[in-house]
Amino acid sequence: MSTVSVAVVIVAAGLGTRLGHPVPKAFVEVGGRSLLAHAVDRVVQVPGVDQVVVVVPDAFVEDTWALLDTPLLTVVSGGADRTASVAAGLSVLVEHVDVVLVHDAARCFTPPDVFEAVVAAVRSGDVAVVPGLPVIDTVKEVDADGLVRRTPARASLRAVQTPQGFDRVTLDRAHASGTSATDDAALIEALGLPVRVVPGSDLAFKVTTPDDLDRAHAVLTTSTTTTSTTTTSTTSRSAR
């Protein structure tokens, strides 16, 4: 079996105005490090990743090269919207990449095993794969006047996350179509191709509002405390 090469395009070009910070969202810090740096930390733990492309606002390209320390890194300027930013990332992929993951820097605590599950599904033959969680709220579809049109069956709904994984040829084809969408899976859907959903993670939440940023601080604090406790316990047992 031939080796499959994986690249991850991290979209970090949004301004994140709802977060209320003077710097773009991906550069807001949690625990002394940017959301983008936390995201890259997890990406480089994923086996088989050969290239990490970070798409940032033009004014932050040089800062990003200095901020991130990995030999896998490529940094490019973003476009006018998310689709254009992803296209900018795709344009600098190395030739041998077969599988492309598109990830939001704002989902900075997504565990490496979610990435691995997405990659495994693409390697198994799915052209597009997204992680998702069951929707726990009842969702209503409403019209322009605010009137309910229908209530979708909750069991069939998923809250979709990133990374979203794709066969490279299929994703290139989707972007060549000229369609714009809020996520890349929608571009694949527009081609009439199937999109597989695999289990996501509660840790893959998206930092969008100040409340989300508070949650990110809490997650990092909990993670740090757990790691410290485990290390102390291991050291104590070793000293006996």
Residue 234 has pLDDT above 60, yes or no: no
Residue 86 lies in a domain: yes
Residue 19 lies in a domain: yes
Helix/strand/coil for 82 = helix
pTM to 2 decimal places: 0.90
Tens-digit pLDDT profile for residues 8-24: 999 999 888 888 888 99
As given in the structure block, the two tokens for residue 195 are: 């999109």
Cα 108 to Cα 204: distance, rounded to the nearest angstrom: 7
Least confident of 95-109, 144-158, 179-193, 212-226: 212-226
DSSP state letters, 24-81: -GGG-EETTEEHHHHHHHHHTTSTTEEEEEEEE-GGGHHHHHHH---TTEEEEE--SS
Residue 231 has pLDDT above 50, yes or no: no
Q: Are strands 29-30 and 33-34 parallel, antiparallel or unpaired?
A: antiparallel
Rounded average pLDDT over 147-168: 97
Cα 231 to Cα 164: distance, rounded to the nearest angstrom: 33
- Work out the number of other CB atoms within 10 angstroms of the CB of residue 178: 8
- Work out the number of other CB atoms within 10 angstroms of the CB of residue 18: 13
- Per the structure, the complete domain to which residue 197 belongs is given by 6-131+158-208
As given in the structure block, the two tokens for residue 226 are: 């757990």
Residue 177 has pLDDT above 50, yes or no: yes
Residue 219 lies in a domain: no
Across 116-240, the runs of DSSP E, i.e. the strands, are: 128-134, 141-142, 148-150, 158-160, 164-167, 196-199
Residue 150 has pLDDT above 60, yes or no: yes
Contacts of 76 (CB under 8 A, 6+ apart): 53, 54, 55, 56, 61, 88, 89, 91, 92
- What are the backbone angles phi and psi of residue 101, rounded to the nearest 5°? -105, 135
Residue 38 lies in a domain: yes
> How confident is the model at residue 227, as a pLDDT?
53
Q: What is the CATH number of the domain that holds 13?
A: 3.90.550.10
Residue 238 lies in a domain: no
Residue 148 lies in a domain: no
Q: 30: closest CA among 221, 201, 227?
A: 221
State CA 111 to chain mean position distance. 10
Residue 107 lies in a domain: yes
Tens-digit pLDDT profile for residues 75-110: 999 999 999 999 999 999 999 999 999 999 999 999
CA atoms within 13 A on the CB side of 124: 9
| Count of the separate structural domains present in the chain | 1
As given in the structure block, the two tokens for residue 136 are: 């726990």
Residue 69 pLDDT grade (very low, low, confident, very high; cuts 50, 70, 90): confident
Residue 92 lies in a domain: yes
